[in-house]
Copies of this chain bind each other. A is one copy, B any other.
Amino acid sequence: MTKNRDVLTLLPEGQRVEYARGEVLADVLVRAGLPLSLYCHKRGLCGKCLVKIVRGELALPDDLERTLAARLEWPAGYRLACRLVLDSPLAIEVPARSLVREVPILETGTSTDVLPEPAVKKYAVDGRALSFDRAASCFDAVASALGAKNLTCGDGVLGKLPVVPGGLFTAVVYDDRTLIDLEPGDTTGRCLGAAVDLGTSTVVVDVLDLVSGQSLGRASAVNSQAAYGADVVSRLTYAFERPDHLQRLRRAITRQVAELIREASAQAGDSPGGVRDIVVAGNTAMNHLLLGVAVESLAVLPFEAVFSRLPPLDAASAGLDLSSAARLYVVPNIRSFIGGDITAGLAASGLAKRKGTWLFVDLGTNGEIVLKKGRELIAASTAAGPAFEGMNISCGMLAVRGAVDRAGWRDGFVLSTVGNEPPRGLCGSGILDVLAVALDQGLIAPDGKVVGPARSLALAPGISLTQADVRNVQLAAAAVKTGVRMMLREFRVGPQDLQGVLLAGAFGNALDIGHAMRLGLIPVLPLDRVAFVGNSSLAGAKKLLLSAPARAEAEDLVRKIHHYSLAADARFQDEFIEAMEFKPDTGGGA
């Protein structure tokens, strides 16, 4: 031990950590690998890095710490790690509540963990202790109390400033940079956020505690824009039929999102005003309609989105009125047909950080395909049509109760249904299973022709798959297959080079991977290299809600991801025709 060094003992384990005198305890603990809560970035504002002093002599706490200790009523013998300069041997205990933990996000097949570091934070301030010595104004005094010199003032906050500083109040701050609201009293115990999966069919809202990362409530509903069109194309058409239609679509969805936030907040035992940050992950068209942005450019050549990344918006200005100021973060679109839902999915699956070569495929009306090769990211989209979602299929249906979701063969089709109810129709995964089984049994030829005079596969009373149905699935599958094959070839990746395939989208976990390979939908790989990432859009929205650094990473990803236009490639047509054949893709054609 050199002259200027001492030892910190961490009880009860007795771990010893050496430090140089003059170091701040919080820094020493972080260096020692403890996930100490640094919510307020060591500004002594939040009291979340409290440690218990077991042995040792310490300088007295400063004014800031004494005031905080009195307000938060913490017991004697506790000190703020971020304010404690070490100068003699010390033994401490770090309470569990002073540590941050990664929160598991469970929407996805492969779970993703996130360390909460929210964009919106709350700090309590004692108005009576505001100092005007060096502050030019009430706002500057608040900024100074928050230790945020370059704080800017959000719209509408000026009106609250002169009133609140009388007693204890709470500052709601975005990105430690913008004051977005002030509340009377200490309301730091509660700061909510909403993650919104804005799907064309369904809207799901999760309300989370932004500090702990816990999910507190959920609400979902069929997208209310469905009244104006079932799918994206019909809504876009409706939107540019008449100028007021776009705003009608906008109002429908903004009202619904606000209502779902209200509902999920109520489940959390809170008012919607508790929600201060909203993250929306939607496809490009849904994002445009949410903001009332004209969609003509999405529908005509060269099919471009109006925007990709946007700065955080004021939720009320964007039509989401929640009774308190909140920010709205729209997860950036990658390209016209590759929306924020995919960006969110990539964030949830941590694709950019995975080692090696990976394929991410989102199967829905559009097949979005992202290939990660080394540090390169390439994205493409291909129009699969709605067959994978059970649409445009004579006995097709969504994956709800009674839908055939799996099929096998034991001297005839063996069907299983959602909820084990009597079969009412076929959902996407059931259709693919039926097709794979029928191919193996010779009931369908590799070119898709249904064998036999009936030109139809009878599956259960009143449920069959017709030749036309098979053709529709064939087209959908061919679109995805073509996309995957062309991307792999363009970027010189063989199926064997793939570290793994991540499957997101309509099928959930229901898809039989072996069958998907049998049909050629994904390349043939050892089964353990294929993983489902489920509703990665909602998972990503939650991750981006809880972690401001994850947003920065997602924006960085959108900036550097390369768009590969399948349609612009002259080989697309030939490839597509070849892909119409149902056969496993072993990369032989590459």
Residues of A at the B interface (CB closer than 8 Å) are 132, 135-141, 152-153, 155, 158-159, 161-163, 291-297, 302, 304-311, 317, 332-336, 558, 563
Q: Are B294 and A136 in contact (CB under 8 A)?
A: no
Specify which chain B residues have a CB less than 8 angstroms from the CB of A336 in the assembled complex: 137
A308 to B139, CA, bound (A): 8
Among A141, A159, A292, A558: residue with most chain B CB under 10 A: A159
- Residues of the B chain whose Cβ atoms lie less than 8 Å from the Cβ of A293: 158-159, 161-162
In the complex, 29 of the A-B residue pairs with CB atoms within 8 angstroms, ordered by the A residue number, are A132-B302, A136-B305, A136-B332, A136-B333, A136-B334, A136-B335, A137-B305, A137-B306, A137-B308, A137-B333, A137-B336, A138-B297, A138-B304, A138-B305, A139-B306, A140-B307, A152-B310, A152-B311, A153-B307, A153-B311, A155-B317, A159-B293, A159-B294, A161-B293, A161-B307, A162-B295, A162-B297, A162-B306, A163-B294
For residue A559, which residue of chain B has the nearest CB? B136
* Cβ distance A249 to chain B, nearest Cβ, rounded Å: 14
6 further A-B contacts with Cβ under 8 Å, apart from A136-B305, A137-B308, A138-B307, are A136-B332, A138-B297, A140-B308, A158-B307, A161-B297, A161-B306
Chain B residue at minimal CB-CB distance from A308: B136
Contact residues in B for A311 (Cβ distance below 8 Å): 152-153
Q: What secondary structure prevails in chain A residues at the interface with B? A: loop
Measured CA separation A573–B308 after assembly (Å)? 63
Query: When chains A and B are docked, how far (Å) is the Cα of A332 from the Cα of B153?
Result: 13
Among B132, B292, B332, which residue has its beta carbon within 8 angstroms of that of A159?
B292
Q: In the complex, A311 Cα to B293 Cα: how many Å?
A: 26
Q: Are A136 and B296 in contact (CB under 8 A)?
A: no
The residue of chain B having its C-beta at the shortest distance from the C-beta of A334 within the complex is B136
**Among A137, A139, A292, A302, residue most surrounded by chain B Cβ atoms (within 10 Å):** A137
Do residues A138 and B558 form an inter-chain contact, with CB atoms below 8 A?
Answer: no
CA distance A301 to B15 in the complex (A): 54
The 7 closest A-B pairs by CB, nearest first: A136-B308, A137-B305, A162-B297, A137-B308, A162-B294, A158-B293, A139-B307
- Tell me how far the C-beta of A251 lies from the nearest C-beta in chain B, rounded to whole angstroms: 15
A450 → chain B, closest Cβ, in Å? 43
CA distance A305 to B153 in the complex (A): 14
* CB-based nearest B residue for A154: B311
Instruction: List chain B residues, Cβ under 8 A from A308.
Output: 136-137, 139-140
Q: How far is the CA of A137 from the CA of B479 in the complex (A)?
A: 24
Min CB distance A402 to B, Å, is 42
Residues of B within 8 A of A563 (CB): 136
Task: Assess whether B304 is in contact with A132, with CB atoms less than 8 Å apart.
Answer: yes
- Other-chain residue from B138, B152, B558 in contact with A136 (beta carbon distance below 8 A): B558
Residues of B within 8 A of A292 (CB): 159
Q: Name the residue of chain B whose CB is nearest to the CB of A292.
A: B159
Complex Cα spacing A308 to B143, Å: 12
